[in-house]
Amino acid sequence: MKKLISIVGTTGIGKTALAINIAKHFGTEIISCDSRQFFREMPIGTAAPSAEELAAVPHHFIGNLSVQDYYSIGQYERDALQRISELFRKHEVAVLVGGSMMYEKAVIEGLNSLPEANAENQQKLEAIFKEHGIEALQDLLQKEDPAYFEVVDRDNHRRLFRALDVIWQTGKTYTENIAEPPEPRGFEMIRIGIGAPREIIYERINERVTLMMEKGLLKEVQSLLPYRDLTALQTVGYTELFKHLDGQWTLDFALDEVRKNSRRFAKRQLTWYRKEEDIQWVNYENSLQESLSLLLNHNIKPKN
φ, ψ of residue 60 to 5 degrees: the values are -125, 140
- Assign residue 27 a region: left if phi > 0, alpha if psi is -120 to 50, beta otherwise? left
Phi, psi of 14 (to 5 degrees): 110, 25
Domain 3-112+180-297 is classified in which CATH homologous superfamily?
P-loop containing nucleotide triphosphate hydrolases (3.40.50.300)
Annotated ligand binding at 175? The verdict is no
pLDDT value for 182? 66
Question: Is 14 flagged in the annotation as binding?
Answer: yes
pLDDT at residue 210, as a whole number: 98
pLDDT in tens, the chain (304 residues): 899 999 999 999 999 999 999 999 999 999 999 999 999 999 999 999 999 999 999 999 999 999 999 888 889 999 999 999 999 999 999 999 999 999 999 999 887 778 888 989 999 999 999 999 999 999 999 999 999 999 898 888 888 999 999 999 999 999 998 887 767 899 999 999 999 999 999 999 999 999 999 999 999 999 999 999 998 999 999 999 999 999 999 999 999 999 999 999 999 999 999 999 999 999 999 999 999 999 998 878 776 5
CATH 1.10.150.120 matches 119-177: no
What pTM does this model have? 0.86
According to the annotation, is 192 in a ligand binding site?
A: no
* 36 contact partners, CB below 8 Å, separation of at least 6: 42, 45, 46, 100, 232, 235
Q: Is 250 annotated as a binding residue?
A: no
Give strand pairing partners of 280: 192
Give which of 220, 264, 258, 209 is closest to 249, Cα–Cα. Answer: 258
- 10 annotated as a binding-site residue: yes
Domain ranges in the chain are 3-112+180-297, 119-177
Is 28 one of the annotated binding-site residues?
no
